[in-house]
Amino acid sequence: MSETYLLGLDLGISSLKAALFTTEGELVHVEQDEYMIYPEGDRVEVDPQIYWEPMARTIRRLLAHWGRDPGSIVAVSVSSHAETVIPMTADGHPARKALVWMDNRSQPEADELVQQMGLHKVLEISGQPDIGPIWPATKFRWLSKYEPETVRRTAAFLLPEDYLLFRLSGKFAGEYSLWSSSLVLDIRRKVLSEEMLAFAGISAQQIPPLYPSGTAIGTVCAECAAETGLSTRTVVVTGAIDQACAAIAAGNVRPGIVTESTGSVLALVATIAEPIFDAETRVPCHIHALPDMYCLLPWNTTGGLTLKWFKDRFAIDIKEQAEASGQDVYTLLTNAAEQIPPGSDGLIMLPHLEGAFFPEYNNQARGVFFGFTLSHTRAHFTRAIMEAVAYMIRRDLEGLTRLGVVANELRVLGGGAKSRLWSQIKADVCNLPVVMPSHGEAAVLGAAMLAAVGIGLFPDIPSAARLMVKEGERVQPSTTAHAIYDAAYQLYLDLYKAVESLYPHCTAIQNTAKSQTPS
């Protein structure tokens, strides 16, 4: 096994990665690239080549740097974001440009779905508690109304992972975890919903064959081999939605473990044995990469983005210092914050810079700093932001507990997981052990694990996790700090309640100011 390798690909919203791993999970090399999609109002369309060209380029760079025989890469799989719709003709060409997940033109169709079927019924079928234009089912209906000829010419509607699988293998194929974010899949029965397809105005034959994550669908096709340098002997295996891939890479393969990713957004993944549909808490439920398992995915729009905003706006001098010294700007920021005591000397932040999702669901929510005095410094504000994200995580965990989903430990991912201080704060606030990652390449490792399962190197994902997942430091909570954070967390909750009624007034002022700003 030591002479064979696994390739994991990750297609993010604006960046992508290709990483090579040994069959023991050791990272050999990783390459990454970026792409940018610019909305034109509600219209967001792109040639799907925008996803494939940088991915093919990244694979070529990786192979060139590695310099070994591509034939020793035994399998490849994909981690991907979801919801973008890519209509393909039978001869393998796009029937039109891709409708990106950000395209909002199907808002009227989303409203129609709510009126015709109701939120409760849609939730019971799809696991999604909120209906908006992001969902592929609404985009299918929009195409059926305004571009019926496109629908007639479409042999397969692909999602981003499906498109990469097609470019790798030449075959149309999808998998359950990504399609559980489409609304057209009945996630309890893992079959297409006839009612949803009828609403969407498409046929079941236009959805690619759906497989479990970690299923071999073929080998790298000759065209892909020519473009990337991969071997046609390499097996192509179905992957999973990015959050599920990252979860299994962190060892989140059984109930009782919750992964948390502090990237730009804050997202949690709770592994569960049976789907949970709750209209009150409105937590999205998805099919997991693990066979016959599900996951709850509570998230919020601002996680690490809050610290990035603070760094960009109020730490320009530290950015310059970092550039001059070759140090990491976030390390310099957090080193200063480490000198501040837990609770930031009474400084509390609400980190809702772009509204609040679970469990508040208030798109008018805004950020608040409360309790600062003449004695507070920039380091206090930095720590208060880090603590605020930890309070959001605790609030999410409490919401999951109300649904009967209990976390025994928290495994951290994303850029925030690089910070030892942030992990300690999360452990202290949530009173849970926090497991840090051994490296920062979770999504591509998860894809590599699925590739290994797909070719039978391991009988299942938990077996792959036992060998391929390497835990980093395990951070234990401090009893003393937790007592301080209990009081600070209660203040965090009370502060939100106190200002909640003021948010509409704030929004009105902001909208007025925008309307009066010269263009």
Which residues, given as ranges, of the chain have pLDDT below 70? 1-2, 517-519
Q: Give the tokens for residue 242.
A: 């990015």
Note the pTM of the prediction, 2 decimals.
Answer: 0.90
Q: What pLDDT is recorded for position 517?
A: 64
- Other C-beta atoms within 10 Å of 256: how many? 12
Q: Is the peptide bond before 477 cis (omega within 30 degrees of 0)?
A: no
Please say whether the beta carbons of 136 and 83 come within 8 A.
Answer: yes
pLDDT digits (tens, 9 = 90+) for 84-141: 999 999 999 999 999 999 999 999 999 999 999 999 999 999 999 989 999 999 999 9
- Tell me the CATH number for domain 304-396+479-516: 3.30.420.40
Q: Who's near 73: CB < 8 A, 6+ residues apart? A: 4, 5, 6, 7, 20, 230, 231, 234
d(CA 388, CA 337): 13
Domain regions of the chain by residue span: 5-238, 304-396+479-516
Q: What pLDDT is recorded for position 475?
A: 98
Same fold, 5-238 and 304-396+479-516: yes
CATH 3.30.420.40 for domain 5-238, yes or no, is: yes
On average, the pLDDT of the chain sits at 95
**Residue 257: φ, ψ to 5°:** -110, 135
d(CA 299, CA 283): 9
- Tokens 């097609």 sit on residue: 166
pLDDT digits (tens, 9 = 90+) for 44-98: 999 999 999 999 999 999 999 999 999 999 999 999 999 999 999 999 999 999 9
